[in-house]
Amino acid sequence: MSTSQHFEHSFHALGSEYVTPTAATPVSAPKWLAWNNRLAEQLGWPEAWGHNEQTLITLAGNGQFEGSQPGSAAYAGHQFGNYNPQLGDGRAILLGEWRRPDGQLFDIQLKGAGPTPYSRGGDGRSPVGPVVREYLMSEAMHSLGVPTTRALAAVATGDPVYRQQLEPGAILTRVAKSHIRIGTVQFFAMTRQGKGLKELVSYVTQRHYGAALQKAQALNPQATHAQVLLNEVTRALANLVAHWQSLGFIHGVLNTDNMLLCGETVDYGPCAFMDTFAAGQVFSSIDTGGRYAFGNQPGIVHWNLSVLAQCLLPLIDEDQEKAVAVAQKSVDQFPTLFTDIYSARLAAKFGLDAMRDSDHALIESFFSQLEEDKLDFTLAFRWLTEVANGNMDATILESLFTPSSGLLNWQTQWSNRRLQATSASCEHMKTANPVVIPRNHWVAQAIGMAEAGDNELMETLQSRWQDPFNWHAGDEQFAAAPKREEQVHRTFCGT
Ligand code: AMP
Ligand code: MG
């Protein structure tokens, strides 16, 4: 292997307060569940570490890649609004950082590879179900264009894990721009009362927002890392949640420890895409109060950013009043940033040249109609797309979606509005409104089969969801909304 192909350990190098050396615990009988060759190629991953027996053993925790330095990271976080001072990688082990040929650095992490110093009595393991869910969902999200962690591999361990019942165990190989969270900043700011915070903030700002830092410091030599970080994370998370809202994605556990500072979606636990539209939709079995309901996500992300801001105050300015003013200004940008990005996404979805004031009422009434008539979110938007592009007959959409009379009435107003739009906006609709999304009932079925040792559906779905904006043969099944008896109403954390 050439010297350019090796792990780096920049986060680990900050010290053992950040990453504690932790070895994976060997398992009985590793078996492949999935290997993501496309991602391996994109990463410039070595051939020798590809889909072979030695890699399988290594990704199961029974071996080690040359040059890896396994470790687990400390963090804290607000869980459902309450501060937990000590969380951390309880079932995740960072093998090292991998530099893609274009220079971008990625964490390579095993999730479910055994206990760590942060396991807090947990077994450090994961059942097959949540591993398959995260693999499928994160890869589908990537193909939909949403910033997200990714899945390089999934392996079954051959060992059972004990949850409500005995379940087969598995390990996911996760790839992220980094796994540093709002909760990581909280750990150093709150649990450790500021010790080590400055080093963390400098590190993460340089790793993710180096260009913004240079620009800010060129304009104002006094600009702090903390100030730049807060500004950039506000921007990145506004972008992320706007994207989720535009696709009907519900994360399910938007605790501050599940929000990455790099702006990628992380931790596919009880997440789900909506089938029929409902603003108050909740799937997670543990979200009894609906804190993380679909319509609440932007507000929750804003709240999480205010937690980050609070932690960064001592680094923004020694003068507390000045620090508060600067941080407040930064976080106060969120509603406008979110609204602007979300409006642009909606304009693309509705085939509008731009969002005008009068369009808000039109859009509101569309969503009310979907909710009232219990219409499928994804198919309704694709119906608009095929209508606008005059492409209905070339697709099977009419066999999958029947507009209600209310929606047909609404269509008249929309068509009138669109008479004032340019034709280019039709084209945009095709890449703003997917044909397929990773629907819950398919994920559930793939999990059931993988638990029984059959990966075929997992492979089929993964391959279909790689191209979500175009019609394919077989979409009678994959684009269709679930039948009543197929609908999934509850999702579980699977920890
Ligand atoms: P999550 O709900 O997956 O975001 O996890 C919340 C916290 O619980 C994190 O600190 C995890 O590392 C930890 N955790 C979750 N499942 C396990 C497990 N099976 N063993 C040890 N720690 C776990
Ligand atoms: Mg988590």
- The 10s digit of each residue's pLDDT in 27-72 is 999 999 999 999 999 999 999 999 999 999 999 999 999 999 999 9
Question: What CA–CA distance (Å, rounded) separates 167 from 127?
Answer: 6
Cα dist. 217→224, 228, 300, 316 in Å?
Answer: 8, 9, 30, 14
Residue 92 near residue 70 (C-beta atoms within 8 A): no
Q: What is the pLDDT of residue 146?
A: 98
H runs (alpha helix) in 248-351: 297-316, 320-350
Q: What is the CA radius of gyration of the chain?
A: 23
Tell me the average pLDDT across 412-431.
Answer: 88
287 lines ligand 1 (CB under 6 A): no
Q: Which of 91, 162, 492 to probe ligand 1 with, by most ligand atoms within 8 A of CB?
A: 91
Question: What CA–CA distance (Å, rounded) separates 258 from 238?
Answer: 15
Burial label for 213, CB within 10 Å (0-12, 13-18, 19+), is buried
**Would you place residue 495 in the very low, low, confident or very high pLDDT band (cuts 50, 70, 90)?**
low
Q: Which of 120, 93, 180, 175 minimizes the C-alpha distance to 142?
A: 175
Q: Which of 89, 248, 254 minimizes the C-alpha distance to 176?
A: 89
Ligand 1 atom at minimum distance from 116 CA? 21
Ligand 2 centroid to Cα of residue 267, in Å, is 5
Name residues whose C-beta falls within 8 Å of residue 280's C-beta, 6 or more positions apart in sequence.
290, 293, 294, 295
3-class DSSP assignment, residue 144: coil
Ligand 2 centroid to Cα of residue 415, in Å, is 44
349 lines ligand 1 (CB under 6 A): no
Ligand 1 centroid to Cα of residue 435, in Å, is 34
Ligand 1 centroid to Cα of residue 437, in Å, is 27
Q: Is the pLDDT of residue 421 over 80?
A: no
- HSE-up (13 A, CA, CB side) for residue 393: 1
Q: What is the pLDDT of residue 491?
A: 80
Q: What is the DSSP letter of 486?
A: G
Ligand 1 atom at minimum distance from 493 CA? 2
Q: Is the pLDDT of residue 428 over 50?
A: yes
Tell me the average pLDDT across 99-113.
Answer: 97
| Closest ligand relative to 118 C-alpha | 1
91 lines ligand 1 (CB under 6 A): yes
Sign of the CA dihedral with 452 first, then 456, 462, and 468 last? negative
Cα dist. 411→41, 372, 398, 493 in Å?
Answer: 44, 16, 16, 39
117 lines ligand 1 (CB under 6 A): no
**Would you place residue 425 in the very low, low, confident or very high pLDDT band (cuts 50, 70, 90)?**
confident
Question: What CA–CA distance (Å, rounded) separates 111 from 208?
Answer: 23
Question: Residue 381: left if φ>0, alpha if ψ -120 to 50, beta else—which one?
Answer: alpha
Residue 60 near residue 171 (C-beta atoms within 8 A): yes
Q: Which DSSP string do the residues of 240-270 spell out, in sequence order?
A: HHHHHHHHTEE-S---GGG-BTT--B---SS
Question: What CA–CA distance (Å, rounded) separates 251 from 269?
Answer: 8
Question: What CA–CA distance (Å, rounded) separates 271 from 138?
Answer: 11
**Would you place residue 465 in the very low, low, confident or very high pLDDT band (cuts 50, 70, 90)?**
very high
Question: What CA–CA distance (Å, rounded) separates 425 from 438?
Answer: 26
Q: What is the DSSP letter of 34?
A: E
Name residues whose C-beta falls within 8 Å of residue 299's C-beta, 6 or more positions apart in sequence.
none
**Would you place residue 490 in the very low, low, confident or very high pLDDT band (cuts 50, 70, 90)?**
confident
**Would you place residue 1 in the very low, low, confident or very high pLDDT band (cuts 50, 70, 90)?**
very low
Element (H or E) spanning 105, and its range?
strand 105-111
Ligand 1 atom at minimum distance from 121 CA? 21
Output the average pLDDT for the chain: 96
What pLDDT digit, counting tens, does each position of 324-365 carry? 999 999 999 999 999 999 999 999 999 999 899 999 999 999
Q: Tokens 């105050």, residue?
A: 313
Q: Is the pLDDT of residue 422 over 90?
A: no
- Please give the backbone phi and psi of residue 228, each rounded to the nearest 5 degrees, phi first: -65, -45
| Closest ligand relative to 149 C-alpha | 2
- The DSSP bridge partners found for residue 127 are 169
Residue 33 near residue 455 (C-beta atoms within 8 A): yes
Which residues are part of the catalytic machinery?
257
Question: What CA–CA distance (Å, rounded) separates 158 from 147?
Answer: 32
Q: What is the DSSP letter of 481?
A: P
pTM: 0.97
Interhelix angle 359-373/320-350, nearest 10 degrees: 70
Question: What CA–CA distance (Å, rounded) separates 449 from 253?
Answer: 26
Q: Is the pLDDT of residue 92 over 90?
A: yes
Ligand 1 centroid to Cα of residue 91, in Å, is 6
Question: What CA–CA distance (Å, rounded) separates 235 from 494?
Answer: 31
Q: Is the pLDDT of residue 493 over 90?
A: no
What pLDDT digit, counting tens, does each position of 290-309 carry? 999 999 999 999 999 999 99
